[in-house]
Amino acid sequence: MTVQEIVKELKRASDKDSIEGMKRFGITPEYTYGVKIPILRQIAKQTGRDHKLAQALCVTLAVLG
């Protein structure tokens, strides 16, 4: 998977109810996708271990906010 594919998948899996629930714990919903852990694990399994991809994804998500 590419960074763009992962971001697209995260946006697709975004859950507004989860984001609302995070507000109660002081998590700023402005920079939150609200993806549930089982879905994150699926994406991680599909992606596999790739340090350079993880770094690129971190930078991309920081820029996208």
DSSP string for 3-47: HHHHHHHHHHT--HHHHHHHHTTT--GGG-----HHHHHHHHHHH
Does the structure show a pLDDT above 70 at 65? Answer: no
Quote the pLDDT of residue 62: 79
Q: pLDDT by residue (tens digit) across 17-52?
A: 888 888 888 887 777 888 999 999 999 999 999 999
pTM, entire model:
0.78
Mean pLDDT of 51-65: 86
Quote the pLDDT of residue 29: 75
